[in-house]
Structure 1
Amino acid sequence: MLNQICQIARLAGSVIMKFYHAEKLIDVSYKSDNTPITNVDCEANNIIKKELLSITPQIPIISEEEIYNFDICRHWNDYWLIDPLDGTKEFLKKNGEFTVNISLIKDGMPVLGVIYAPFFDVLYSSYHKESWKEKKLGFKENIKVSKSKISTFITSRSHPDKELKNYLDGVESYKIKRLGSSLKFCLVAEGTAQIYPRFGETYIWDTAAGHALVVASGGIVKTWKGSDLNYCLSSRSSFLNPGFYASA
Protein backbone atom coordinates (compact mmCIF):
# COMPACT_ATOMS: atom_id res chain seq x y z
CA MET A 1 0.00 0.00 0.00
CA LEU A 2 2.90 2.38 0.64
CA ASN A 3 3.77 2.35 -3.05
CA GLN A 4 0.17 3.25 -3.90
CA ILE A 5 0.27 6.20 -1.49
CA CYS A 6 3.53 7.38 -3.04
CA GLN A 7 1.87 7.29 -6.46
CA ILE A 8 -1.06 9.33 -5.15
CA ALA A 9 1.33 11.95 -3.73
CA ARG A 10 3.13 12.15 -7.07
CA LEU A 11 -0.17 12.51 -8.92
CA ALA A 12 -1.26 15.39 -6.69
CA GLY A 13 2.20 16.92 -7.05
CA SER A 14 2.05 16.83 -10.83
CA VAL A 15 -1.24 18.77 -10.77
CA ILE A 16 0.23 21.30 -8.33
CA MET A 17 3.20 21.86 -10.63
CA LYS A 18 0.92 22.53 -13.62
CA PHE A 19 -0.55 25.45 -11.68
CA TYR A 20 2.89 26.47 -10.42
CA HIS A 21 4.21 26.94 -13.95
CA ALA A 22 1.00 28.31 -15.46
CA GLU A 23 0.76 31.95 -16.40
CA LYS A 24 -2.87 32.30 -15.38
CA LEU A 25 -3.71 33.75 -11.99
CA ILE A 26 -4.30 31.47 -9.02
CA ASP A 27 -7.44 32.05 -6.94
CA VAL A 28 -6.41 32.96 -3.38
CA SER A 29 -8.68 33.37 -0.37
CA TYR A 30 -8.03 33.34 3.36
CA LYS A 31 -9.20 31.12 6.19
CA SER A 32 -10.36 32.35 9.58
CA ASP A 33 -6.78 32.11 10.91
CA ASN A 34 -5.60 34.37 8.04
CA THR A 35 -3.70 31.57 6.26
CA PRO A 36 -4.08 31.41 2.47
CA ILE A 37 -5.96 28.74 0.55
CA THR A 38 -6.00 28.46 -3.23
CA ASN A 39 -7.84 26.53 -5.91
CA VAL A 40 -4.64 24.46 -6.17
CA ASP A 41 -5.05 23.23 -2.57
CA CYS A 42 -8.59 22.16 -3.43
CA GLU A 43 -7.60 20.40 -6.68
CA ALA A 44 -4.90 18.40 -4.88
CA ASN A 45 -7.30 17.61 -2.05
CA ASN A 46 -9.92 16.20 -4.41
CA ILE A 47 -7.36 13.98 -6.15
CA ILE A 48 -5.95 12.54 -2.93
CA LYS A 49 -9.36 11.90 -1.38
CA LYS A 50 -10.67 10.15 -4.49
CA GLU A 51 -7.63 7.88 -4.72
CA LEU A 52 -7.56 7.04 -1.00
CA LEU A 53 -11.25 6.13 -1.03
CA SER A 54 -10.63 3.78 -3.95
CA ILE A 55 -7.93 1.95 -1.96
CA THR A 56 -9.39 1.98 1.57
CA PRO A 57 -13.07 3.00 1.45
CA GLN A 58 -13.48 1.87 5.07
CA ILE A 59 -10.92 4.33 6.48
CA PRO A 60 -12.12 7.91 7.06
CA ILE A 61 -10.08 10.91 5.87
CA ILE A 62 -9.25 14.16 7.62
CA SER A 63 -7.89 16.92 5.37
CA GLU A 64 -6.73 20.43 6.12
CA GLU A 65 -8.96 21.70 3.34
CA GLU A 66 -12.29 20.57 4.82
CA ILE A 67 -14.38 21.25 7.91
CA TYR A 68 -15.26 18.43 10.31
CA ASN A 69 -17.44 17.83 13.32
CA PHE A 70 -14.78 17.05 15.90
CA ASP A 71 -17.23 15.14 18.09
CA ILE A 72 -17.65 12.63 15.26
CA CYS A 73 -13.95 12.42 14.40
CA ARG A 74 -12.91 11.75 17.98
CA HIS A 75 -14.40 8.26 17.71
CA TRP A 76 -12.01 7.30 14.89
CA ASN A 77 -9.05 5.12 15.95
CA ASP A 78 -7.72 4.75 12.40
CA TYR A 79 -7.87 7.50 9.79
CA TRP A 80 -5.99 9.10 6.93
CA LEU A 81 -4.58 12.55 7.61
CA ILE A 82 -3.67 14.72 4.63
CA ASP A 83 -2.33 18.16 3.83
CA PRO A 84 -2.72 18.39 0.05
CA LEU A 85 -0.48 21.45 -0.29
CA ASP A 86 1.63 22.07 2.78
CA GLY A 87 3.38 25.41 2.47
CA THR A 88 0.82 27.37 0.46
CA LYS A 89 2.71 30.58 1.34
CA GLU A 90 5.87 29.11 -0.16
CA PHE A 91 3.93 27.99 -3.23
CA LEU A 92 2.68 31.54 -3.74
CA LYS A 93 6.19 32.93 -3.20
CA LYS A 94 7.46 30.53 -5.90
CA ASN A 95 10.38 29.27 -3.80
CA GLY A 96 9.60 25.57 -4.28
CA GLU A 97 9.40 24.75 -0.56
CA PHE A 98 5.98 23.09 -0.51
CA THR A 99 4.91 19.47 -0.15
CA VAL A 100 2.12 16.94 -0.41
CA ASN A 101 1.61 15.18 2.94
CA ILE A 102 -0.25 11.90 3.46
CA SER A 103 -0.20 9.83 6.65
CA LEU A 104 -2.07 6.91 8.16
CA ILE A 105 -2.98 7.11 11.84
CA LYS A 106 -3.52 3.91 13.82
CA ASP A 107 -4.45 4.01 17.51
CA GLY A 108 -3.26 7.58 17.86
CA MET A 109 0.12 7.27 16.13
CA PRO A 110 1.24 7.85 12.52
CA VAL A 111 2.44 4.49 11.16
CA LEU A 112 2.82 5.49 7.51
CA GLY A 113 4.04 8.79 6.14
CA VAL A 114 4.61 10.16 2.65
CA ILE A 115 5.98 13.61 1.88
CA TYR A 116 6.47 14.64 -1.72
CA ALA A 117 8.22 17.87 -2.75
CA PRO A 118 7.12 18.20 -6.40
CA PHE A 119 9.28 21.21 -7.26
CA PHE A 120 12.43 19.28 -6.29
CA ASP A 121 10.93 15.93 -7.36
CA VAL A 122 12.01 14.34 -4.08
CA LEU A 123 9.79 11.87 -2.25
CA TYR A 124 10.17 10.72 1.36
CA SER A 125 8.25 7.74 2.68
CA SER A 126 8.11 5.60 5.80
CA TYR A 127 6.31 2.61 7.21
CA HIS A 128 6.77 1.60 10.84
CA LYS A 129 10.57 1.44 11.39
CA GLU A 130 11.83 1.98 7.85
CA SER A 131 12.12 5.19 5.85
CA TRP A 132 13.32 6.12 2.40
CA LYS A 133 14.28 9.06 0.20
CA GLU A 134 13.59 8.84 -3.51
CA LYS A 135 15.45 11.46 -5.56
CA LYS A 136 14.65 9.82 -8.86
CA LEU A 137 11.62 7.66 -9.62
CA GLY A 138 12.53 4.06 -8.85
CA PHE A 139 15.79 4.80 -6.98
CA LYS A 140 15.20 4.70 -3.21
CA GLU A 141 17.71 4.90 -0.39
CA ASN A 142 17.19 4.24 3.29
CA ILE A 143 17.61 7.27 5.53
CA LYS A 144 18.50 7.67 9.19
CA VAL A 145 18.81 10.55 11.63
CA SER A 146 22.31 11.71 12.51
CA LYS A 147 23.70 13.42 15.60
CA SER A 148 26.38 16.11 15.33
CA LYS A 149 28.74 17.98 17.69
CA ILE A 150 27.32 21.23 16.33
CA SER A 151 23.62 20.68 15.79
CA THR A 152 21.75 22.21 12.88
CA PHE A 153 18.42 23.64 13.98
CA ILE A 154 15.79 23.74 11.26
CA THR A 155 13.10 26.38 11.71
CA SER A 156 10.11 27.75 9.86
CA ARG A 157 10.62 30.26 7.07
CA SER A 158 7.13 31.81 7.20
CA HIS A 159 6.05 31.18 10.82
CA PRO A 160 8.65 32.62 13.19
CA ASP A 161 8.24 31.35 16.76
CA LYS A 162 8.36 34.13 19.35
CA GLU A 163 9.79 31.72 21.92
CA LEU A 164 12.45 30.33 19.59
CA LYS A 165 14.99 33.08 20.28
CA ASN A 166 14.78 32.49 24.04
CA TYR A 167 15.21 28.76 23.46
CA LEU A 168 18.29 29.25 21.25
CA ASP A 169 19.83 31.63 23.80
CA GLY A 170 20.34 28.58 26.01
CA VAL A 171 22.19 26.62 23.32
CA GLU A 172 25.98 27.04 23.13
CA SER A 173 26.90 26.00 19.58
CA TYR A 174 24.52 25.53 16.70
CA LYS A 175 23.79 26.29 13.07
CA ILE A 176 20.37 27.40 11.91
CA LYS A 177 18.52 26.82 8.64
CA ARG A 178 15.10 28.16 7.68
CA LEU A 179 12.79 26.17 5.46
CA GLY A 180 9.13 25.99 4.50
CA SER A 181 6.56 23.20 4.90
CA SER A 182 7.14 19.69 6.26
CA LEU A 183 10.54 19.58 4.55
CA LYS A 184 11.86 20.51 8.01
CA PHE A 185 10.95 17.03 9.27
CA CYS A 186 12.58 15.51 6.19
CA LEU A 187 15.93 17.14 6.89
CA VAL A 188 15.91 15.76 10.44
CA ALA A 189 14.94 12.30 9.15
CA GLU A 190 17.75 12.21 6.59
CA GLY A 191 20.38 13.52 9.01
CA THR A 192 20.94 16.91 7.34
CA ALA A 193 19.55 18.69 10.44
CA GLN A 194 19.38 17.48 14.03
CA ILE A 195 16.55 19.43 15.68
CA TYR A 196 13.30 21.03 14.56
CA PRO A 197 11.90 22.98 17.55
CA ARG A 198 8.37 24.34 17.21
CA PHE A 199 6.60 26.60 19.68
CA GLY A 200 4.06 28.21 17.37
CA GLU A 201 0.68 26.92 16.28
CA THR A 202 0.44 23.77 14.15
CA TYR A 203 -2.31 21.29 13.34
CA ILE A 204 -2.18 17.52 13.18
CA TRP A 205 -2.15 17.51 9.36
CA ASP A 206 0.96 19.72 9.46
CA THR A 207 2.97 17.19 11.45
CA ALA A 208 1.73 13.59 11.07
CA ALA A 209 3.58 12.56 7.89
CA GLY A 210 6.80 14.20 9.08
CA HIS A 211 6.37 12.65 12.51
CA ALA A 212 6.09 9.18 10.97
CA LEU A 213 9.19 9.81 8.88
CA VAL A 214 11.39 11.04 11.75
CA VAL A 215 10.44 8.18 14.08
CA ALA A 216 10.94 5.57 11.35
CA SER A 217 14.40 7.08 10.76
CA GLY A 218 15.36 6.59 14.42
CA GLY A 219 14.43 10.00 15.78
CA ILE A 220 11.83 11.28 18.24
CA VAL A 221 8.94 13.74 18.17
CA LYS A 222 8.03 14.96 21.65
CA THR A 223 6.01 17.73 23.24
CA TRP A 224 7.90 20.18 25.42
CA LYS A 225 6.44 18.35 28.42
CA GLY A 226 8.25 15.18 27.32
CA SER A 227 5.37 13.07 26.03
CA ASP A 228 5.01 11.70 22.50
CA LEU A 229 3.08 13.95 20.15
CA ASN A 230 -0.17 12.02 19.90
CA TYR A 231 -2.98 11.91 17.33
CA CYS A 232 -5.57 10.11 19.43
CA LEU A 233 -8.61 12.31 18.84
CA SER A 234 -10.56 10.91 21.80
CA SER A 235 -8.03 12.49 24.16
CA ARG A 236 -7.99 15.84 22.35
CA SER A 237 -10.30 18.83 22.29
CA SER A 238 -9.27 20.07 18.83
CA PHE A 239 -6.97 19.42 15.86
CA LEU A 240 -4.38 21.84 17.29
CA ASN A 241 -1.00 20.51 18.41
CA PRO A 242 0.92 21.54 21.52
CA GLY A 243 4.46 22.80 21.02
CA PHE A 244 6.92 20.05 20.11
CA TYR A 245 10.36 19.19 18.85
CA ALA A 246 11.60 16.60 16.35
CA SER A 247 15.17 15.48 16.84
CA ALA A 248 17.77 12.82 16.14
Structure 2
Amino acid sequence: MKNNLSIAIKAAIEAGVEILKVYETNFKVEVKGDDSPLTQADKNANDIINRYLQPTEIPIISEENKQLNYEQRKDWKQCWVVDPLDGTKEFIKRNGEFTVNIALVKNGSPVLGVIYVPVTKTIYFTAEDANSSKKLVLDSEKIAIDEIFNKAITIKPELDSDVIKIVGSRSHLNEDTKNFINEIENSTSVEEGKNKIEIVSKGSSLKFCLVAEGLANIYPRFAPTMEWDTAAGDAICRAVGLKVIDQATGKPLAYNKSNLLNNYFLVRS
Protein backbone atom coordinates (compact mmCIF):
# COMPACT_ATOMS: atom_id res chain seq x y z
CA MET A 1 0.00 0.00 0.00
CA LYS A 2 2.80 2.44 0.82
CA ASN A 3 4.33 1.97 -2.62
CA ASN A 4 0.99 2.58 -4.35
CA LEU A 5 0.37 5.58 -2.10
CA SER A 6 3.79 7.01 -2.97
CA ILE A 7 3.09 6.56 -6.69
CA ALA A 8 -0.31 8.23 -6.39
CA ILE A 9 1.10 11.21 -4.47
CA LYS A 10 3.91 11.74 -6.98
CA ALA A 11 1.45 11.45 -9.85
CA ALA A 12 -0.95 13.96 -8.31
CA ILE A 13 1.75 16.54 -7.64
CA GLU A 14 3.30 16.29 -11.10
CA ALA A 15 -0.15 16.47 -12.69
CA GLY A 16 -0.78 19.59 -10.60
CA VAL A 17 2.38 21.21 -11.97
CA GLU A 18 1.19 20.61 -15.53
CA ILE A 19 -2.28 21.92 -14.70
CA LEU A 20 -0.83 25.19 -13.45
CA LYS A 21 1.18 25.63 -16.66
CA VAL A 22 -2.09 25.69 -18.58
CA TYR A 23 -3.86 27.71 -15.86
CA GLU A 24 -1.45 30.57 -16.45
CA THR A 25 -2.24 30.75 -20.18
CA ASN A 26 -5.18 31.91 -22.25
CA PHE A 27 -6.42 28.34 -22.59
CA LYS A 28 -9.28 27.10 -24.78
CA VAL A 29 -12.34 25.25 -23.46
CA GLU A 30 -13.93 22.34 -25.32
CA VAL A 31 -17.36 20.86 -24.57
CA LYS A 32 -17.62 17.08 -24.29
CA GLY A 33 -20.59 14.97 -25.32
CA ASP A 34 -22.11 15.22 -21.84
CA ASP A 35 -21.87 19.05 -21.99
CA SER A 36 -19.05 19.11 -19.42
CA PRO A 37 -16.03 21.33 -20.12
CA LEU A 38 -12.61 20.02 -21.10
CA THR A 39 -9.27 21.86 -21.26
CA GLN A 40 -5.72 20.97 -22.26
CA ALA A 41 -4.97 20.82 -18.52
CA ASP A 42 -7.37 17.85 -18.12
CA LYS A 43 -5.61 16.02 -20.96
CA ASN A 44 -2.05 16.78 -19.82
CA ALA A 45 -2.78 15.78 -16.22
CA ASN A 46 -4.39 12.56 -17.38
CA ASP A 47 -1.36 11.64 -19.50
CA ILE A 48 0.97 12.13 -16.53
CA ILE A 49 -1.19 10.14 -14.12
CA ASN A 50 -1.53 7.27 -16.59
CA ARG A 51 2.25 7.22 -16.99
CA TYR A 52 2.68 6.81 -13.23
CA LEU A 53 -0.13 4.30 -12.65
CA GLN A 54 0.21 1.98 -15.64
CA PRO A 55 3.41 0.29 -14.34
CA THR A 56 1.45 -0.89 -11.27
CA GLU A 57 -0.52 -3.13 -13.66
CA ILE A 58 -3.70 -2.17 -11.81
CA PRO A 59 -6.46 -1.17 -14.27
CA ILE A 60 -7.43 2.50 -14.40
CA ILE A 61 -10.83 4.17 -14.52
CA SER A 62 -10.27 7.82 -15.40
CA GLU A 63 -12.67 10.49 -16.53
CA GLU A 64 -10.44 11.20 -19.52
CA ASN A 65 -9.72 7.58 -20.51
CA LYS A 66 -11.95 5.59 -22.82
CA GLN A 67 -14.51 3.89 -20.58
CA LEU A 68 -14.62 0.10 -20.71
CA ASN A 69 -17.95 -1.65 -20.52
CA TYR A 70 -18.88 -3.51 -17.36
CA GLU A 71 -18.25 -6.94 -18.89
CA GLN A 72 -14.59 -5.98 -19.13
CA ARG A 73 -14.47 -4.53 -15.61
CA LYS A 74 -16.72 -6.75 -13.51
CA ASP A 75 -14.05 -9.20 -12.37
CA TRP A 76 -11.53 -6.56 -11.32
CA LYS A 77 -10.51 -7.04 -7.69
CA GLN A 78 -8.93 -3.61 -7.62
CA CYS A 79 -8.61 -0.55 -9.82
CA TRP A 80 -7.46 3.04 -9.80
CA VAL A 81 -10.22 5.65 -10.03
CA VAL A 82 -8.93 9.00 -11.28
CA ASP A 83 -10.14 12.50 -11.98
CA PRO A 84 -7.10 14.31 -13.39
CA LEU A 85 -8.76 17.70 -12.97
CA ASP A 86 -11.77 17.75 -10.66
CA GLY A 87 -13.57 21.06 -10.79
CA THR A 88 -12.88 22.07 -14.39
CA LYS A 89 -15.58 24.74 -14.00
CA GLU A 90 -13.63 26.16 -11.04
CA PHE A 91 -10.46 25.99 -13.15
CA ILE A 92 -12.16 27.97 -15.90
CA LYS A 93 -13.40 30.52 -13.34
CA ARG A 94 -9.80 30.73 -12.02
CA ASN A 95 -10.88 30.57 -8.38
CA GLY A 96 -8.28 27.95 -7.39
CA GLU A 97 -10.81 25.42 -6.09
CA PHE A 98 -9.87 22.52 -8.35
CA THR A 99 -8.06 19.31 -7.49
CA VAL A 100 -6.33 16.19 -8.74
CA ASN A 101 -8.08 13.05 -7.43
CA ILE A 102 -6.52 9.58 -7.35
CA ALA A 103 -8.01 6.62 -5.48
CA LEU A 104 -7.32 2.92 -5.25
CA VAL A 105 -10.46 0.81 -5.00
CA LYS A 106 -10.49 -2.79 -3.76
CA ASN A 107 -13.60 -4.95 -4.04
CA GLY A 108 -15.75 -1.89 -4.63
CA SER A 109 -14.44 0.18 -1.68
CA PRO A 110 -11.89 3.03 -1.80
CA VAL A 111 -8.90 2.13 0.39
CA LEU A 112 -6.41 4.77 -0.69
CA GLY A 113 -7.07 8.37 -1.62
CA VAL A 114 -4.99 11.35 -2.71
CA ILE A 115 -6.34 14.85 -3.34
CA TYR A 116 -3.95 17.56 -4.47
CA VAL A 117 -4.81 21.26 -4.73
CA PRO A 118 -2.32 22.76 -7.23
CA VAL A 119 -2.93 26.46 -6.49
CA THR A 120 -2.26 26.15 -2.74
CA LYS A 121 0.14 23.18 -3.02
CA THR A 122 -1.98 21.36 -0.44
CA ILE A 123 -2.13 17.59 -0.42
CA TYR A 124 -4.55 15.33 1.44
CA PHE A 125 -4.03 11.56 1.56
CA THR A 126 -4.97 8.45 3.46
CA ALA A 127 -2.35 6.78 5.62
CA GLU A 128 -1.04 3.52 4.19
CA ASP A 129 -3.18 1.50 6.64
CA ALA A 130 -6.29 3.56 5.71
CA ASN A 131 -6.96 4.23 9.40
CA SER A 132 -6.21 7.95 9.28
CA SER A 133 -5.78 10.78 6.79
CA LYS A 134 -3.07 13.41 6.48
CA LYS A 135 -2.59 16.92 5.14
CA LEU A 136 0.44 18.94 4.13
CA VAL A 137 1.05 22.28 2.44
CA LEU A 138 4.13 21.75 0.30
CA ASP A 139 7.02 24.19 0.28
CA SER A 140 7.83 23.00 -3.22
CA GLU A 141 6.41 20.51 -5.72
CA LYS A 142 9.91 18.96 -5.80
CA ILE A 143 9.61 17.76 -2.19
CA ALA A 144 10.77 14.19 -1.53
CA ILE A 145 8.07 11.63 -0.83
CA ASP A 146 9.63 10.69 2.54
CA GLU A 147 9.50 14.33 3.59
CA ILE A 148 5.79 14.41 2.75
CA PHE A 149 5.16 11.36 4.93
CA ASN A 150 7.24 12.79 7.79
CA LYS A 151 5.80 16.31 7.75
CA ALA A 152 2.12 15.64 7.06
CA ILE A 153 -0.26 16.22 9.96
CA THR A 154 -3.17 13.97 10.87
CA ILE A 155 -6.60 15.49 10.25
CA LYS A 156 -9.72 14.73 12.28
CA PRO A 157 -13.41 15.60 11.82
CA GLU A 158 -13.77 17.22 15.25
CA LEU A 159 -15.97 20.29 15.60
CA ASP A 160 -16.77 22.04 18.87
CA SER A 161 -19.31 24.61 17.83
CA ASP A 162 -22.92 25.62 18.30
CA VAL A 163 -23.23 25.95 14.53
CA ILE A 164 -23.94 23.06 12.17
CA LYS A 165 -21.78 23.66 9.13
CA ILE A 166 -23.11 22.13 5.93
CA VAL A 167 -20.99 21.93 2.80
CA GLY A 168 -22.67 23.25 -0.33
CA SER A 169 -21.29 23.41 -3.84
CA ARG A 170 -20.81 26.77 -5.50
CA SER A 171 -22.65 25.40 -8.52
CA HIS A 172 -25.02 22.71 -7.21
CA LEU A 173 -27.11 23.99 -4.26
CA ASN A 174 -30.33 22.63 -5.73
CA GLU A 175 -33.85 22.23 -4.36
CA ASP A 176 -33.18 18.80 -2.81
CA THR A 177 -30.20 20.19 -0.92
CA LYS A 178 -32.19 23.19 0.26
CA ASN A 179 -34.93 20.86 1.51
CA PHE A 180 -32.36 18.77 3.40
CA ILE A 181 -31.01 21.89 5.09
CA ASN A 182 -34.52 22.98 6.03
CA GLU A 183 -35.17 19.57 7.59
CA ILE A 184 -32.09 19.93 9.79
CA GLU A 185 -33.11 23.43 10.84
CA ASN A 186 -36.57 22.18 11.79
CA SER A 187 -35.51 18.87 13.31
CA THR A 188 -36.44 18.23 16.94
CA SER A 189 -33.43 15.93 17.21
CA VAL A 190 -31.05 18.86 16.98
CA GLU A 191 -29.85 19.90 20.42
CA GLU A 192 -31.16 23.20 21.69
CA GLY A 193 -28.88 26.00 20.68
CA LYS A 194 -27.25 23.86 18.00
CA ASN A 195 -29.69 24.29 15.16
CA LYS A 196 -28.06 27.32 13.65
CA ILE A 197 -26.99 26.43 10.12
CA GLU A 198 -24.03 27.79 8.21
CA ILE A 199 -23.37 26.94 4.56
CA VAL A 200 -19.72 26.40 3.72
CA SER A 201 -19.20 26.69 -0.02
CA LYS A 202 -16.38 24.96 -1.86
CA GLY A 203 -15.73 23.54 -5.29
CA SER A 204 -14.53 20.09 -6.40
CA SER A 205 -13.49 17.34 -3.97
CA LEU A 206 -12.44 19.98 -1.44
CA LYS A 207 -15.93 19.51 0.00
CA PHE A 208 -14.89 16.08 1.30
CA CYS A 209 -11.72 17.57 2.77
CA LEU A 210 -13.66 20.20 4.71
CA VAL A 211 -15.60 17.51 6.58
CA ALA A 212 -12.54 15.27 7.03
CA GLU A 213 -10.53 18.02 8.71
CA GLY A 214 -13.35 19.31 10.88
CA LEU A 215 -14.17 22.51 9.02
CA ALA A 216 -17.72 21.31 8.32
CA ASN A 217 -20.11 18.76 9.81
CA ILE A 218 -22.11 17.43 6.88
CA TYR A 219 -21.78 17.22 3.11
CA PRO A 220 -25.03 16.37 1.31
CA ARG A 221 -24.61 15.77 -2.40
CA PHE A 222 -28.02 15.58 -3.99
CA ALA A 223 -26.86 16.18 -7.53
CA PRO A 224 -25.15 13.94 -10.11
CA THR A 225 -21.53 12.87 -9.60
CA MET A 226 -19.37 10.19 -11.16
CA GLU A 227 -17.17 7.71 -9.35
CA TRP A 228 -14.00 9.64 -10.23
CA ASP A 229 -15.47 12.75 -8.59
CA THR A 230 -15.83 11.02 -5.23
CA ALA A 231 -13.50 8.03 -4.80
CA ALA A 232 -10.44 9.88 -3.42
CA GLY A 233 -12.49 12.09 -1.09
CA ASP A 234 -14.55 9.10 -0.01
CA ALA A 235 -11.36 7.20 0.94
CA ILE A 236 -10.04 10.17 2.92
CA CYS A 237 -13.34 10.55 4.78
CA ARG A 238 -13.72 6.84 5.56
CA ALA A 239 -10.16 6.74 6.92
CA VAL A 240 -11.05 9.38 9.54
CA GLY A 241 -14.19 7.54 10.59
CA LEU A 242 -16.80 9.39 8.55
CA LYS A 243 -19.62 7.67 6.69
CA VAL A 244 -20.23 8.28 2.99
CA ILE A 245 -23.70 6.84 2.51
CA ASP A 246 -25.54 6.17 -0.73
CA GLN A 247 -29.00 7.66 -0.22
CA ALA A 248 -30.65 5.06 -2.48
CA THR A 249 -29.20 1.95 -0.82
CA GLY A 250 -28.42 3.15 2.70
CA LYS A 251 -24.96 1.61 2.29
CA PRO A 252 -21.51 3.10 1.66
CA LEU A 253 -20.93 4.28 -1.90
CA ALA A 254 -19.73 1.46 -4.13
CA TYR A 255 -17.20 1.72 -6.96
CA ASN A 256 -16.49 0.03 -10.28
CA LYS A 257 -20.25 -0.38 -10.66
CA SER A 258 -21.94 -1.29 -13.93
CA ASN A 259 -22.99 2.37 -14.09
CA LEU A 260 -20.22 4.75 -12.98
CA LEU A 261 -22.79 7.40 -12.03
CA ASN A 262 -23.23 7.78 -8.26
CA ASN A 263 -26.53 8.00 -6.47
CA TYR A 264 -27.10 10.96 -4.16
CA PHE A 265 -24.99 10.60 -1.03
CA LEU A 266 -24.38 12.08 2.41
CA VAL A 267 -21.08 12.51 4.27
CA ARG A 268 -21.30 12.78 8.05
CA SER A 269 -20.05 11.21 11.27
TM-score normalized with structure 2 length:
0.86
Per the alignment, residue 86 of structure 2 pairs with 86
Q: Displacement of 1:77 after TM fit?
A: 2.0
Per the alignment, residue 223 of structure 1 pairs with 246
Mapping for residues 1-248 of structure 1, pairs under 5 Å: 1=3, 2-22=5-25, 25-54=26-55, 56=56, 58-71=57-70, 72-127=72-127, 128-137=130-139, 138=148, 139-147=151-159, 148-172=161-185, 173-225=196-248, 226-231=250-255, 233=256, 236-248=257-269
Amino acid at match of 2:252: D
Q: Displacement of 1:223 after TM fit?
A: 1.4
Contact 2:22 2:40 (C-alpha < 8 Å) held by counterparts: no
Aligned-partner Cα distance in 2 for 1:48–1:4: 9
Contact 1:196 1:247 (C-alpha < 8 Å) held by counterparts: yes
Q: Displacement of 1:26 after TM fit?
A: 1.4
State which structure, 1 or 2, has the greater radius of gyration over its C-alpha atoms. 2
How large is the Cα RMSD of the aligned pairs?
1.4
Aligned-partner Cα distance in 1 for 2:158–2:220: 16
Structure 1: which 5+ runs fail to align? none
Q: Displacement of 1:238 after TM fit?
A: 0.8
Aligned-partner Cα distance in 2 for 1:8–1:243: 29
- The number of residue pairs the alignment matches comes to 241
Contact 1:162 1:200 (C-alpha < 8 Å) held by counterparts: no
Per the alignment, residue 189 of structure 2 pairs with none
Contact 1:70 1:238 (C-alpha < 8 Å) held by counterparts: no
Structure 2: which 5+ runs fail to align? 140-147, 186-195
Aligned-partner Cα distance in 1 for 2:73–2:63: 14
Once the two structures are superposed, residues 217-238 of structure 1 have per-residue CA deviations (whole angstroms, 9 ceiling, x without a partner) of: 121100124211111x3xx331
Amino acid at match of 2:206: L
The list of structure 1 runs, each at least 4 consecutive aligned residues, that deviate by more than 3 angstroms after superposition, is: none
Q: Secondary structure at the match of 1:97?
A: coil
TM-score normalized with structure 1 length:
0.93
Aligned-partner Cα distance in 1 for 2:200–2:184: 15
